[in-house]
A and B are shown apart, each in its own frame.
Chain A
Amino acid sequence: MVSKKPQTGGTVLFNVLQQHGVEHVFGYPGGAIMPIYDALYDSDIKHFLCRHEQGASFSAIGYARASQKVGVCLATSGPGATNLITGLADALADSIPVVAITGQVATSSMGSDAFQEIDIFGLSLACTKHSFQVRDVNELADILHQAFAIALEGRQGPVLVDIPKDIQLAIVDKPVDNIYVAKRTLVDSKVNPQLKIESANIGTALALLKQAKKPILYVGGGVGMADAVTELREFISVTDIPSVSTLKGLGAVNPSDECYLGMLGMHGTKAANFAVQRCDLLIAVGARFDDRVTGKLAEFAPHAKIIHFDIDQAEINKRRKVDVSILGDLKVNLPALAAPLSIHEWHGECKHMRESFVWQYDHPGETIFAPAVLSEISRTMVKNTVVTTDVGQHQMWAAQHMTFEHPTNFLTSGGMGTMGFGVPAAIGAQISRPDDTVIAVTGDGSFMMNVQELSTIKRFQLPVKIVLIDNSKLGMVRQWQDLFFDGRLSETDLSDNPDFVMLANAFDIKSKVITKKEQVSAAINEMLTHEGAYLLQVKIDASDNVWPLVPPNTANDKMMEST
C-alpha cells in the first residue's frame, strides 16, 4: 500500500525490497545508514543483526544459496562497507545473487575525507558484478530494481548500492508501494544477453557425442544456479553417461548413480580423475576449468574433445580451448543434447572404477578420523539437511565423505576459499530454511574467523549444529608445509586455541568435546537430536592429511595418496 505520508529514500528502499519478495535482511547499523535503519523500524522486513558486517555478508550468501533467492545485507559507510568486501568477493567468485546496501556520507561531504567516508564504489569494482551510487532519491527505486535484475540474470552475482545519507532522508516526488510484484523484467537487455538456443552448435555437439566412445560429464555449480538439476539428471538417465563433479557442483548428480565418480581435481577421487584423464569427450556443464579442477592445464583430459555449456561467454575458451560451446540456459540446452549413447564398455569401466576406488576408513590408533565422522554424519542426518563448511582440510573431507541430494544442500566457499564462511553461511541457511537441519562443518582455524556470529545464533535462537574438526593447526597449510616446504611449520600452530566448549557455553550453546573413536556415534546422535544450537568439538590427530592430493602443476592422474 502507498501511504500518504511523504516517502523518504529509506522507506523507498524497504518498499522496493518487498516488491522483490525480500522477507529477511542481514546487517549492522552505523552513522551513515541511520535513516535506513529508522525506516526499517516501520517495515515488515525482518532484520537479523549480525555481529560483524562480514558475518552479515556471508549470512546473505548462505541465505541465497540455500533458498535460491537474492540475499540482502546492509552496512554503514567506511569500515562497515569495507567489512562487506570479502563477502562480495566470495559472492562474485561463486556467482551468488546478493544485493548489498551501504550507507554513505552525505553528498555534500563526499570527496572530503569525511568521518567514516570511503570510496566503496571504487572498492566494489573488482568484487561485484555491478555497483551503483545513488545521486537522486527519485532514481533510487529504479536503481534497486536494476540491482535485483542484474544480481539474478545471466551469470548471477553480487551488486552493491551505495546510498548517501541525505538521499536516504530525501523525500521522493512519486511514492513507491510495497506490494510484491513477481520478477520484473529489466530495462537493460545486457542483463540477460545469451538465452537463444544455438541450434548449429547443438548439432555439432550431438555429432561429437555420438562419435565419442568415452564421454564424461563434468558438472559444475552452474547446474544448481540454473535450477537445472532435474534436466541434468534426465540427461544422465537418457545417455547413461558417467559423470564427475566440481566442489560447487556437488549435489547436482544423484550420488547413488552407478557411474557417478565423485569430485574431480586436486582432492578429487581417483575414479573421477582417472576417468577424466582417459575420456575422449568432456562435456563441461556450468563449470569453468578452474585451476583446482584441472591440475596441470596442459595435461588435463589430454585425449578429450570439449563441449562447454555455460551462461557466460567469457568462460568459453578462457582456460581450455573448446570444440563446441553452447551458450545459454541449461534448462533449455541440456535436453536438446539428450540422446541414448552406445557406450556400454566405457560405462562398465567407469562403474568398475567407482566400485574399486571406495574410501577407506581404517585409521590406526584411538584418535578420531575426521573422514569417518563426516561420513557417519552424512549417513545419519535427515533428508534435506544443509551442510555449510569453512575452508581447509575439513572442507575437503566434507566434500569427499558427505553426500548431498541437491546443490542447495552443500554451501561452501569455492572460488574464493574464504575462511570464516561456514558459521555465518549456516545462519543464513537456517533463516531461509527454518524447518531443515543446518550443520556447519568447520575447523579450528576458520571457526575463529567469524566466531562473533555465535552471538547471532544466540540472539535468534537458531538451532544450527556446528561440527568443529579440531587439530589445533591451520591444517591444510600445515599439510602443504610438510609436503612441499620441507616440514618448516611456519605460523600454523594453533595449540593455544580457546576452550571451545566453554566458548560455546558462553553463548548459551550446548557443547561437547570428543577425542576417541568410540565416542563418535553417541555424540553425533546427541547433536542431531538436540533441539537447539550445538557445538561438537572433534579432536583429531594433527598429522592427518587430506588424500588424495594432486601436487601443484601436476597432471590429475599423478596424485599422492600418502606421505
Chain B
Amino acid sequence: MQQHTLRITAQDQPTVLERLLQVTRYRGFIVTGMTMFGRVDESVLDIELTVQSEKSIDHLHNQLNKLIDVDGISVKKSDALQCPT
C-alpha cells in the first residue's frame, strides 16, 4: 500500500470537492488526509489530498486531471505510511 499526496489547483466551484472525492473513491483510493484553501481574490482552490492504494498513482492522477474544474495536479510520494490513530 503506497501513500501519495496530490496537490491540486481547481476552480472554486461548490461542487469540486465532491467530484474529486467521487473519482478518488471509484478509482480505488482511500483518502487519508485533506486540506483545502481558497486564494484571496481569486476563484481558485488549493487542495492537498493524501491517498492510499495498491494501484498506480498515475491512474488516479490521469483520471482527476480529466475533471473540467481541475487546473493542475502535482504528485508527491509520501515517505512513510502514516498510521491512522
Binding site for B on A (CB under 8 A): 121-122, 125-126, 129-130, 133, 150, 188, 190-191, 312-314, 316-318
Q: CB within 8 A of A314: which of B15, B26, B62?
A: B62
A136 CB to nearest chain B CB (Å)? 13
Q: Is the interface of B mostly helix, strand, loop or mixed?
A: helix
B18 touches A (CB below 8 Å): yes
Q: Which residues of B contact A190 (CB under 8 A)?
A: 68, 70-71
B39 touches A (CB below 8 Å): no
Contact A130 B18 (CB under 8 A): no
**How many B residues face the partner with a CB closer than 8 A?**
14
Mask for B13-40, Cβ within 8 A of A = 1, else 0?
Answer: 0010011001000100000000000000
Whole-angstrom CA separation of A122 from B70 in the bound complex: 18
Known contacts A190-B68, A314-B62; 16 further A-B pairs (Cβ under 8 A): A121-B15, A122-B18, A125-B19, A125-B22, A126-B26, A130-B68, A133-B15, A150-B68, A188-B68, A190-B70, A312-B66, A313-B62, A313-B66, A314-B65, A314-B66, A318-B62
Contact A126 B68 (CB under 8 A): no
Nearest CB in chain B to that of A149: its residue: B68
Nearest CB in chain A to that of B60: its residue: A314
Contact A126 B22 (CB under 8 A): yes
B38 CB to nearest chain A CB (Å)? 18
Q: Which residues of A contact B63 (CB under 8 A)?
A: 314
Whole-angstrom CA separation of A317 from B62 in the bound complex: 10
A194 CB to nearest chain B CB (Å)? 11
Binding site for A on B (CB under 8 A): 15, 18-19, 22, 26, 58-59, 62-63, 65-66, 68, 70-71
Contact A317 B71 (CB under 8 A): no
Whole-angstrom CA separation of A318 from B19 in the bound complex: 20
Whole-angstrom CA separation of A84 from B68 in the bound complex: 22
Whole-angstrom CA separation of A316 from B19 in the bound complex: 22
B22 CB to nearest chain A CB (Å)? 5
Whole-angstrom CA separation of A188 from B71 in the bound complex: 10
Whole-angstrom CA separation of A352 from B71 in the bound complex: 51
Contact A191 B68 (CB under 8 A): yes
Q: Which residues of A contact B62 (CB under 8 A)?
A: 313-314, 316, 318
Q: Which residues of A contact B15 (CB under 8 A)?
A: 121, 133
Whole-angstrom CA separation of A391 from B72 in the bound complex: 39
Nearest CB in chain A to that of B64: its residue: A314
Nearest CB in chain A to that of B27: its residue: A314
Whole-angstrom CA separation of A150 from B58 in the bound complex: 23
Contact B58 A317 (CB under 8 A): yes
Contact A318 B68 (CB under 8 A): no
The 7 closest A-B pairs by CB, nearest first: A314-B62, A125-B22, A130-B68, A314-B63, A313-B62, A190-B68, A314-B66
Nearest CB in chain A to that of B66: its residue: A314
Whole-angstrom CA separation of A190 from B18 in the bound complex: 19
Contact A318 B71 (CB under 8 A): no
A318 CB to nearest chain B CB (Å)? 7
What are 8 pairs between A and B in contact, CB < 8 Å?
Answer: A125-B19, A130-B68, A188-B68, A190-B68, A314-B65, A316-B62, A318-B59, A318-B62
Nearest CB in chain A to that of B61: its residue: A314
Whole-angstrom CA separation of A139 from B22 in the bound complex: 26
Contact A313 B65 (CB under 8 A): yes
Whole-angstrom CA separation of A150 from B69 in the bound complex: 12
Nearest CB in chain B to that of A125: its residue: B22
A215 CB to nearest chain B CB (Å)? 27
Whole-angstrom CA separation of A130 from B23 in the bound complex: 12
Whole-angstrom CA separation of A122 from B58 in the bound complex: 26
Contact A125 B18 (CB under 8 A): yes
Q: Which residues of B contact A191 (CB under 8 A)?
A: 68
B47 CB to nearest chain A CB (Å)? 16
B53 CB to nearest chain A CB (Å)? 15
Whole-angstrom CA separation of A69 from B36 in the bound complex: 39
Q: Which residues of A contact B70 (CB under 8 A)?
A: 190
Whole-angstrom CA separation of A133 from B15 in the bound complex: 10
Whole-angstrom CA separation of A188 from B59 in the bound complex: 23
Nearest CB in chain A to that of B22: its residue: A125
Whole-angstrom CA separation of A133 from B16 in the bound complex: 13
Q: Which of A150, A188, A312, A314 has its CB near the most chain B CB atoms (within 10 A)?
A: A314
Q: Which of B19, B58, B66, B71 has its CB near the most chain A CB atoms (within 10 A)?
A: B66
Q: Which residues of A contact B65 (CB under 8 A)?
A: 313-314
Q: Which residues of A contact B66 (CB under 8 A)?
A: 312-314
Whole-angstrom CA separation of A312 from B63 in the bound complex: 10
